[in-house]
Amino acid sequence: MDIRAQHRVHGGTLSYVQHESASTGGTMRFSVFTPPGAGPFPYLIWLSGLTCTEDNFTTKAGAYGAAAAHRVAIVAPDTSPRGDGVADDPAYDLGQGAGFYIDATEAPWTPHFKMESYVTRDLIAAVEEGFPLAPKRSVFGHSMGGHGALTLAMKHPSLFKSVSAFAPISSPTQCAWGEKAFSAYLGAKRDAWKAHDAALLIEAGQAAPFDDILVDQGLGDQFLENQLKPELLEAAAAKAGQKLTLRRHEGYDHSYFFMTTFVADHVAFHAARLA
């Protein structure tokens, strides 16, 4: 593990880190904020959206004041493997920067695009070994990362105490972003896609370990109707008898201006469940 830079913020320490990942077969990067004090701290894993790196949330979300106040750490990984030997695509919504937090089974993606295994295995092991973090963690994310947070929490409930999302891709099997990525990474057989669809997982009862799921959605979001479809989460939760708190906000778009407005609510939501 190599600490590339460190900064003082809200009395705590923000570190930029790179390390080698067995899952992705290369170097991965993440940031980690630890609050003031000795720890060990419970922590949140933030999963970012399309085109993002480990830096977007770190510099734009404004989450560390709330994290320091609640004495929780925050880890923010990159969104995909990267490098000259890693498969890519010219489009923004496939390849590097668009890992979708799944393990690819199709060429040319399968050697490196193992983001589900990376987040749930390599990243957790690295941060808990290298920083004063307790094995008590929650997960949240935005857009593609909201999809990742919801699905990884439901597929690996023993790893996470709680889950929330901003403007998540609610049902990737029913939108263009998801259909494109899943066709490439998982192949044409749509049955293989169902395990990575938050709405379908909720409907199947896999959110039962969580007392509530918090989702914030801006009504000025340009992707709301065609890609995000939060109403599918509501319908699935109603069928499953699952508590889901979906908050709709007039005028807010898909940007980090939206997230910085409400991120303290999410930190508090998770801190209460990690206490």
List, for residues 238-270, the tens digit of each pLDDT value. 999 999 999 999 999 999 999 999 999 999 999
Query: How many alpha carbons lie under 13 Å from residue 100 in its C-beta half-sphere?
Result: 29
Put simply, whether the predicted model's pTM sits higher than 0.75 gets the answer: yes
CATH 3.40.50.1820 fits 2-274, yes or no: yes
As a whole number of angstroms, the distance between CA 35 and CA 9 comes to 9
As annotated, the active-site residues are 143, 221, 254
* Residue-range domain boundaries for the chain: 2-274
To which residue do tokens 């399309």 refer? 50
Residue 180: strand, helix, or coil = helix
Q: Which residues pair with 188 in a beta bridge?
A: none
pLDDT tier at 21, thresholds 50, 70, 90? very high
Q: What are the structure tokens assigned to 109, written together?
A: 């993606």
Q: Which residues pair with 5 in a beta bridge?
A: 16
254 phi and psi, to 5 degrees?
A: -95, 5
Residue 32: strand, helix, or coil = strand
Q: What are the structure tokens assigned to 206, written together?
A: 């896999």
**Mean pLDDT in the chain?**
98
Q: Which string of b and e fits 3-29 if b means at least 16 CB within 10 Å?
A: eeeeeeebebbbbbbebebebbbeebb
pLDDT tier at 71, thresholds 50, 70, 90? very high
Q: What are the structure tokens assigned to 79, written together?
A: 């969104």
pLDDT for 187: 98
- Beta strands 12-21 and 26-34 are antiparallel
pLDDT for 255: 97
pLDDT for 263: 98
pLDDT for 171: 98
List, for residues 201-252, the tens digit of each pLDDT value. 999 999 999 999 999 999 999 999 999 999 999 999 999 999 999 999 999 9
CA 138 from chain centre, in angstroms, equals: 10
Burial class (CB within 10 angstroms; exposed 0-12, middle 13-18, buried 19+) of 201: buried
